[in-house]
Amino acid sequence: MTALTAGDTIPASPKPAKLSTAPKGTLTLAQAWATFLKHPNAWMLITAVVVSVVGRVWVGQFSAWDVLIPLALVAFHPFQEWLIHVYVLHWKPRKIGPVTVDFELARRHRYHHVDPWDMPTVFIPQRTLWFALIGHGLFWFAALPALGVPGALAWTGLFTVSAIGLVYEFTHYIVHTTYKPRSKTYKRIFRYHRLHHFKNEHYWYGVTMHQGDRVLGTLPAKTHDVPTSPTARDIGGVAAGDCE
């Protein structure tokens, strides 16, 4: 497997993983958005954002917490991305007695590494996203009032989580297209995520932010010092046909 350079050329993947190549042509930002908006996840998250904004404005009773809660959630998000990526997405099946413990997200992510250009595997599974949105709704609207936190802030929390989810989904989607970013921030995001997929799966776990990688030691100062992993395209040690 060839090491990646600053140009981010895409090397061939190792066997036995199913090989895939980047799509031809260059996608414009408008085309990327148009394609993204065809996916149900986009509208699930957009709907959650709009509903939570309307609910928050309708309820009123604004306070400093409407700023502090989003700031706290955004600050925690890079570490959340890191933890989920390491311990859930890169989970390997484990046998506990006769039972094999595995997760839908992990199975999907294993195939995502096998075939990074396969669009259906880029998005969060819809069932998982439904559970996440419902779970957050229950937390913000049930747990917080029980803790004595004003119920109006539940809308703020739901809005922030939904907005973060929307940014995550679009960012992860567009990194796996042929769109050429212009800003330094997105160029860096594209480069790091593609290094994760095509150079070494043990680094660059962040998708939208990399503070988690920086703090937790998975953002090397020099990428060329990182060894090229033979399993970057086969993180579960399984063939493409064994992934869902």
Tens of pLDDT, residue by residue over 75-105, are 999 999 999 999 999 998 888 888 888 888 8
The string of pLDDT tens digits covering residues 112-125 is 999 999 888 999 99
Q: Could you tell me the residue ranges of all domains in the chain?
A: 40-242
Question: CA dist 138 to 133, 144, 209, Å?
Answer: 9, 9, 27
d(CA 17, CA 235): 10
The secondary element (H helix, E strand) that includes residue 63 is: none
28 Cβ partners below 8 Å, 6+ apart?
179
Instruction: Please tell me whether residue 234 adopts helix, strand or coil conformation.
Output: coil
Q: Are 39 and 52 in contact (CB under 8 A)?
A: no
* 162-177 pLDDT per residue, tens: 999 999 999 999 999 9
Give the H or E element holding residue 216. helix 211-216
Checking if the pLDDT of 18 tops 80, the result is no
